[in-house]
Amino acid sequence: MIKNSKITFLGAGNMAEALVAGMVKSKLADPDSLLATDISQARLTVLKDRYQIQVGSKNSDAVSWADVIILCVKPNVINDVLGDIQPALTEKHLVISVAAGVPISNIQDKIGQKVSLVRAMPNTPAVIQEGVTALSGCSGLSSECLGMAKKIFGSVGKVVVVDESLMDAVTGLSGSGPAYIYLAIEALIDGGVRVGLPRNVAHILAVQTVLGTAKMVSETGEHPAVLKDRVTSPGGTTIAGLQRLEEGGLRATLIEAIEAAAHRSHELGA
């Protein structure tokens, strides 16, 4: 299905490049079936030289050429872009928006109710094909169109389908989540340095510990609490460290961080 479809990216930033790279690397799409537009000629040159895709400067022509349009533009310019492409859109098109915080209803107000529409919330690890994307479809979206979106974003990581009412929660957890983990890794490195490790050694230990731990949870299917208990010996070092984390309110603070980010996402969408 993807192989026979032409896909246009409106916006050639990091997320567009991640999706292009994922589809080309996985052979989900041929480079000549992908086209990108952007106001930055430098970005278009990068995508053309790096992935041999087509590039253009006129959004309406790029939309007329395509079967699938992926909106990779910032929320503050999406209305202008939608107004530009609306005359070129038809019922045959599938439009996928990655504009953070922009509801499906807002996009439909600009392009009409008849165009198939999917809202996507990917996160930045998509750049290395290790992301996770939440998808929400418009009312009446066909299983074929949803399947198309799942395949596209599946090329850069895992995909979940949620009701659009949960998109702010998704943003608070997986959208903003990489920043929480970066902060935790930085703190682990500094902790290693605090107890005498050279910074380069602490960096390796912290990064691999986080990576390996995440893979353990993913690949074993065990609940994190079960895996935690297996590491925690009676009267040992781990329980001593865990006690300090509980005293510092680590779990409560992370929960509150997700809540705060989700609330901010709702404010921006409004």
Domain boundaries, the chain: 7-167, 175-269
What tens digit of pLDDT does each residue of 165-217 get?
999 999 999 999 999 999 999 999 999 999 999 999 999 999 999 999 999 99
Map residue 53 onto helix, strand or coil: coil
Instruction: Output the CATH code of domain 175-269.
Output: 1.10.3730.10
Fold category of 7-167 in CATH? Rossmann fold (3.40.50)
Q: Helices 78-85 and 104-111 meet at what angle, rounded to 10?
A: 40
What tens digit of pLDDT does each residue of 125-146 get?
999 999 999 999 999 999 999 9
In this prediction the pTM is 0.92
Does residue 99 contact residue 74 with C-beta atoms inside 8 Å?
Answer: yes
How high is the pLDDT of residue 100?
87
